[in-house]
Amino acid sequence: MAVVALGVLVGGLVGYLTNKVAVWLLFHPVRPRCLPLVGLCLQGVVAARRRELARRMAGLVDRYLVSGRVWRRLEEEASRVVGEELRVAVRSSPFLAGLEPLLQGVVERVSGAVARAAAGVVRRVDIAGLVEEELARLDPGEVERLFWEMAGRELRFVVYSGLVLGGLVGLLQGLLLCLLGLGG
């Protein structure tokens, strides 16, 4: 039975430490560190591929978040806000207040035109380029903080999954050794 307990303990520890190091290696070392005797250089994946990750994330933002639906919603909201502001301006003017029913169509047309113009201006902005530029500008520590803020629970889950899976492997290994009569 001691073999089984030791297998669970060692397996869990190995699984936990392996996944802990794997998550750490996503972000560290920030600058390449070379091991001269082995001839191996290590750098965190995020630090090493920061520009490529920024470009890919910007592409995802552009493709999935800045869609036609977003533009339509922006245009509708701009039209609504401009229309409200124009109606308030008409009502607050003693001269125009009496003409409000006549000006209703003008207010609608003007607010729609302004909204379409504003949406057109925003569409011309290279949002993917701006996102890529801003993400690439972040230092590796900020990028790591963003990752932990976005996916900290999931990263911790990965680490603790290693503990559980390693413990299960150790349990199976210990039970197998006992079944084979090698567990003492």
65-91 confidence digits (pLDDT tens)? 776 777 778 777 877 887 788 778 777
Q: What is the pLDDT of residue 164?
A: 97
pLDDT confidence bin for 184, thresholds 50/70/90: low
pLDDT at 125 over 80: no
Per-residue pLDDT tens for 10-25? 999 999 999 999 999 9
- d(C-alpha 111, C-alpha 61), whole Å: 29
Q: Are the C-beta atoms of residues 19 and 162 closer than 8 Å to each other?
A: yes
Give 79's contacts (C-beta < 8 A, 6+ positions apart): 111, 112, 114, 115, 116
pLDDT in tens, 40-52: 989 999 888 888 9
Token pair belonging to 38: 């082995």
Can you tell me the distance from the alpha carbon of 81 to that of 87, in angstroms, rounded to the nearest whole number? 10
pLDDT of residue 38: 87
Beta pairing partners, 33: 42
Residue 165: per-residue pLDDT: 97
Q: Is 33 within 8 Å of 41 (Cβ atoms)?
A: yes
Distance separating alpha carbons of residues 111 and 91, to the nearest angstrom = 16
Q: Which amino acid is at 179?
A: L
pLDDT given for residue 110 in this prediction: 80
Q: What Å distances lie between residue 12 and 3, 172, 175, CA to CA?
A: 14, 12, 15
Burial 155-182 (b: 16+ CB within 10 A, else e): beeebeebbebbbebbbebbeebbeeee
**Per-residue pLDDT reduced to its tens digit, 139-169:** 888 989 998 999 999 999 999 999 999 999 9
pLDDT for the residue 168 = 96
User: For 82-119, what is each residue's pLDDT tens digit?
Assistant: 778 877 877 788 777 677 777 777 777 887 787 778 77
pTM: 0.66
| CA angle 116–118–124, rounded 5-degree value | 100
pLDDT attached to residue 172:
95
